[in-house]
Amino acid sequence: MNVLVYIENITGKFKKSTYEVVSYAAAIAKQTGGTLTAVSIGNVDASTLAEIGKYGAIKILNVQQDALSSFVNQAYASIISQAAKSVDATVVVLSNTFTGKGLAPRVAVKLAAAYVDGALELPTITGNSFSVKRGAFSGKAFANVTLNSAIKVITLSPNAYQINDLGTTATIEDFNPSTGAHDFQTMVKEIIRASDKISLPDAELVVSGGRGLKGPENWGMIEELASLLGAATGCSKPVSDSGWRPHEEHVGQTGIAVAPNLYIAIGISGAIQHLAGVSASKVIVVINKDPEAPFFKVADYGIVGDAFEVVPQLIEAVKVLKAQA
Amino acid sequence: MKILVCISNVPDTTTKITFNSNNTEFNTSGVQFILNPYDELALARAIELTEGGKGSVTVVNVGLADTEPTIRKALAIGADDAIRINAAPANAYFVAQQIAKIAKEGQYELILTGRESIDYNGAQTGAMIAEIMDMPSISIIKKLTIDANTATVEREIEGGKEVITVDFPFLASVTEGVAEPKIPNMRGIMSARTKPLQVVEAIAVDTLSSISSFDLPAARSTVKLISTNESAKLIEALHSEAKVI
């Protein structure tokens, strides 16, 4: 089956999640004996585009128009489905990022395709049918979704698939889709990005704080530890509800579900709603002064102790580790 | 302004999830169902936008009769009327087709959904409705303000936000920040019983996808405890044993 992957860029650069989705899509093309084409929308230079070839795409369709330099959901969805048709793709893969979540359902409807979001593994393929594993019940379970239609749309969870450099190269072609005024009904006025912060949903490392930190004024040490580790900062629901931290840092069932390699929970007791949002983490560290905190039951490493004593020691230890490196 | 808010009936956030029939069905026995928390935010913002006679809020749910307590809750919170499409929600595409039909008939200027339901977490239905209806959609917004015929929304993106303007009609899915949930007052609860709740039959939709089975996460190994005065050893273990830093 021919596979099309949408390679999302942020201000002309590709993120780790984009390389992951290309590797994932290349593996599906290989599984099904098809070829992989990538489609890029926006202003990405040729050398950055060429990088994608290493991961198994044989062709990159490049769509560059001024009107498309920022994200327009309808237009992007239309372009991706036109690209899929142009290469006879029966599988379309995107990243399950904020943008991917907005785009993929529209692409699926346009292509009359079955859609599964947040895939965690490669599909199991039986004839023309795919079975794809994804999270369900906000991280409390997994669901195996069967896709039966001729065309399938899949979004891949960030940090779920290994990037594989295959040493291949791709040709780059300009692609000129047809779009009309109708596709441009939303207008991005402003993009505000905290340049010094690591984004939480696709972070590899997360340092999260809870009510045990007693107040927003004590987040300095959380931020310092996170910054030394190159981690994103998160928090529990009571913390964001109290306005100590912004909502976008809320990790849990009704906030952001994360899947980092390392999740460090400091002063968070581990309510079931919070645990749901972190269950996909590979390693969980819990620091809490209450030995009965439910979070210890799902932790890989734990320290029963006062955050105000422990965290400064961790900060020093990370500094030592970095000095050795 | 006429606003349509799509609501979902989901297990309470404290539910311990288990499955029946060889892991093919969610075990609903003893489970308390609630209005999906993100949909509650959508409803709260819709009520704020129409307060003082500036419009009406209709809630729509695709579900069997057992979802009516959740629909009444939405009416108690402040929706003006409700529509229940009488079918078990097979998948997001099925639900989107049902709601799109209702939405076309009702000529709503704004359609709001939660960013995702906390049961299947698909985040699919909203954008699918918009695609079927051929209208703009903005997914996962944390702010929505209206000025004459133009709305300004803030969409969440990795590490920041986008400020977007859009003309009506459009659809948006909302997340935390868009409004605070509203608690129904006594008057709301009393009036909810008599507010109109229309039941309509579902249309046939092809089943493109289905859940074949569920799994529960594997149990984690027991925690390795490190004493407070040896905290530095944790960093060492994360580096050389777990190899995550």
The answer to whether the Cβ–Cβ distance between B212 and A144 falls below 8 Å is: yes
Rounded-to-integer distance, Cα B198 and Cα B178, Å: 28
Which of B37, B164, B210 is nearest residue A187 as measured by Cβ atoms? Answer: B164
Q: Is the pLDDT of residue A240 over 80?
A: yes
pLDDT digits (tens, 9 = 90+) for A125-137: 999 999 999 999 9
Distance from the B121 Cα atom to the nearest Cα atom in chain A, whole angstroms: 6
Which of A153, A183, A213 represents a domain boundary (last residue)? A183
Chain A residues near residue B36 by CB distance under 8 angstroms: none
Task: Provide the number of CB pairs (under 8 Å) joining chain A to chain B.
Answer: 275
* Location of structure tokens 């992007």: A76
Which of A152, A183, A214 represents a domain boundary (last residue)? A183
Residues A149 and A29 in one domain: yes
Residues 6+ apart with CB under 8 A from A162: A20, A23
Domain of residue A285, CATH code:
3.40.50.1220
The answer to whether the Cβ–Cβ distance between B165 and A135 falls below 8 Å is: no
The answer to whether the Cβ–Cβ distance between B130 and A106 falls below 8 Å is: yes
Assigned domain for A196 exists: no
* Location of structure tokens 């991706």: A80
Chain A residues near residue B240 by CB distance under 8 angstroms: none
The answer to whether the Cβ–Cβ distance between A185 and B170 falls below 8 Å is: yes
pTM comes to 0.95
Which residue segments constitute the domains of chain B, with CATH numbers given? 2-217 (3.40.50.620)
Taking residues A73-90, report their average pLDDT: 98
Assigned domain for A199 exists: no
The mean pLDDT value of chain B amounts to 96
The mean pLDDT value of chain A amounts to 96
| B218 has a chain A CB within 8 A of its CB | no
Q: Is the pLDDT of residue A295 over 90?
A: yes
In order, the DSSP letters of A190-254 are EEEE-TTS--STT-SEEEEE-GGG-SGGGTHHHHHHHHHHT-EEEE-HHHHHTTSS-GGGBBSTT
Is the Cβ–Cβ distance between B195 and B82 less than 8 Å? Answer: yes
Residues A114 and A227 in one domain: no
pLDDT at position A196 is: 73
Rounded-to-integer distance, Cα A42 and Cα A67, Å: 9
The answer to whether the Cβ–Cβ distance between A137 and B119 falls below 8 Å is: yes
The answer to whether the Cβ–Cβ distance between B156 and A140 falls below 8 Å is: no
| A218 has a chain B CB within 8 A of its CB | no
pLDDT digits (tens, 9 = 90+) for A84-141: 999 999 999 999 999 999 999 999 999 999 999 999 999 999 999 999 999 999 989 9
Residues A163 and A28 in one domain: yes
Assigned domain for A193 exists: no
The dihedral sign for the CA sequence B168, B174, B178, B179: positive
pLDDT at position B159 is: 85
Distance from the B19 Cα atom to the nearest Cα atom in chain A, whole angstroms: 10
Residues A25 and A160 in one domain: yes
Assigned domain for A195 exists: no
Assigned domain for A194 exists: no
Per the structure, the count of domains in chain A is 2
Surface of A (79-138) touching B: CB under 8 A: 97-99, 101-106, 108-110, 112-118, 131, 133, 135-138
Rounded-to-integer distance, Cα A304 and Cα A288, Å: 5
pLDDT at position B219 is: 83
pLDDT band at residue A228 under the 50/70/90 scheme: very high
According to DSSP, the residues that pair with A93 across neighbouring strands are A5, A154
Residues A159 and A29 in one domain: yes
The complex scores an ipTM of 0.96
Is the Cβ–Cβ distance between B213 and B26 less than 8 Å? Answer: no
| B168 has a chain A CB within 8 A of its CB | no
pLDDT band at residue B218 under the 50/70/90 scheme: confident
Q: Is the peptide bond before B169 cis (omega within 30 degrees of 0)?
A: yes
Residues A161 and A236 in one domain: no
The answer to whether the Cβ–Cβ distance between A101 and B16 falls below 8 Å is: no
Rounded-to-integer distance, Cα A55 and Cα A167, Å: 7
Residues A108 and A213 in one domain: no
Q: Residue A265 is part of which domain span?
A: 205-324
pLDDT at position A193 is: 87
| B147 has a chain A CB within 8 A of its CB | no
Domain of residue A103, CATH code:
3.40.50.620
